[in-house]
Amino acid sequence: MSNVALELTNVRKKIKNKEIIKDVNLTIRQGEVYGFIGPNGAGKTTTIRMIVGLMDLTDGEIKVLGKSIEKEYKDAARNLGAIVENPEMYPFMTGRQNLSHFARMYDDVPKGRVEEVITLVGLDQAIDEKVSKYSLGMRQRLGIAQAILHKPAVLILDEPTNGLDPAGIREIRDYIRRLAVEDNVAVMISSHLLSEIELMCDRIGIIKHGELITEQSVKEDSEEADQSEIKVVLDVKETEEAIKVLASLELKAEKEGSQLVSLMTRETIPQVVNKLVESGVTIYGVTGVKPSLEDQFLELTGGNIIE
């Protein structure tokens, strides 16, 4: 297993006696992309502000590569790159001037790095225009550019897909995956829309009312996937016959219109198909339906309600 890059231990935040974040524990490893999902107002941005040192912790600890953000701020901050909420830049400066400005805040960002980053995020065309003329998508790219200037080990992106069109989202998704795989960067992406970031994450955590209510892998291990039951839809001609066959394998099936729906593990699917064929059942189709994360998310959070 790779090393822990970001670690939150029993993190709490109280603002004016209201508990905004209640005992959040969370670990992100190097090279892992973590989706931080929650409805608006659940405490995503507050958590992110604490990680990057913009807010004090009421209780608990946050460590970046083992360095506490509160006690060893400089060492921790050196390894962090972030966009917090909207990627706001100096509007009266060009993209290049903005990047140079932030590059000067590090001791060890070489001169050529700014150019390198501009090409990486694909802003070569517009980099010498003033940021006030940028579209939201261009500002998002510039935001990512400033966050990776100093090659941080941990990258925090707050709603990076906000205001992007599907093509833009795909581009950012590819780019983030590349950072994680090639540079071993730990990436934390927050979003209130699961569907937008589901595809780029290895793991997601869902936060609601300041509590991390569930964490799960997006791309489950094949072994694990073989063990868990999934919904299988069987499109067959002789439904009654098929139900009997399934019963002989100790599987329950329900009739939904002209189709049968059953719960079984991935491993048993070929077995079931064999049996059905042997019994002379005509099969038009077999579809495994994975419960979508979106469904689970909505079930867990009770929809996207601002509280």
Partner 1 sequence: MSNFFSLLYNELFKIYIRKSTWVMYIILGLIAVGGAIIISSFDDVQPTEYTDNWKEELQEENEALHKDNEEFGYSFNDDRIMKNEYLLENDIRPLNYGAWQYTLENVGLVAIVSLLTIIIGSSIISNEYKWGTIKLLLIRPISRNIILLSKFIAIFVFGLFTMIYLFLVSMLGGAVFFGFEGFNPSTVIMTANGIEYVPIVGEVMSEYGYRIVNLIMMTTLAFMISTIFKNSSIAIGVGIFLLMGGNIITGIFSQYEWSKYLLFANLDLKMYETGNILIEGMTLGFSITMLIVYFVVFVALAWLFFNKRDIVNQ
Residues near partner 1 (CB under 8 A):
15, 49, 52-56, 73-75, 77-78, 80, 82, 84-86, 88-93, 97, 101-102, 104-107, 146
Between 111 and 250, whose beta carbon lies closer to partner 1? 111
The helix or strand, by DSSP H or E, that contains position 99, with its residue range, turns out to be: helix 95-103
Between 118 and 154, whose beta carbon lies closer to partner 1? 154
Between 75 and 215, whose beta carbon lies closer to partner 1? 75
Give me the least distance between CB of 202 and partner 1, in Å please: 24
CB distance 26 to 140 below 8 Å: no
Give me the least distance between CB of 13 and partner 1, in Å please: 9
* 305: exposed, middle or buried (Cβ count in 10 Å: 0-12, 13-18, 19+): exposed
Q: Which residues pair with 28 in a beta bridge?
A: 6
Give me the least distance between CB of 82 and partner 1, in Å please: 5
**49-to-54, 123, 254, 268 alpha-carbon distances in Å:** 5, 27, 49, 47
Give me the least distance between CB of 81 and partner 1, in Å please: 8
Between 71 and 255, whose beta carbon lies closer to partner 1? 71
Distance CA(45)–CA(37), nearest Å, equals 11
Give me the least distance between CB of 118 and partner 1, in Å please: 17
Between 52 and 232, whose beta carbon lies closer to partner 1? 52
Give me the least distance between CB of 55 and partner 1, in Å please: 4
Kindly tell me the sign of the dihedral angle through the C-alpha atoms of 7, 214, 165, 134: negative
Distance CA(235)–CA(42), nearest Å, equals 42
Distance CA(177)–CA(187), nearest Å, equals 9
Between 75 and 129, whose beta carbon lies closer to partner 1? 75
Using DSSP's 3-state secondary structure scheme, residue 59 falls into strand
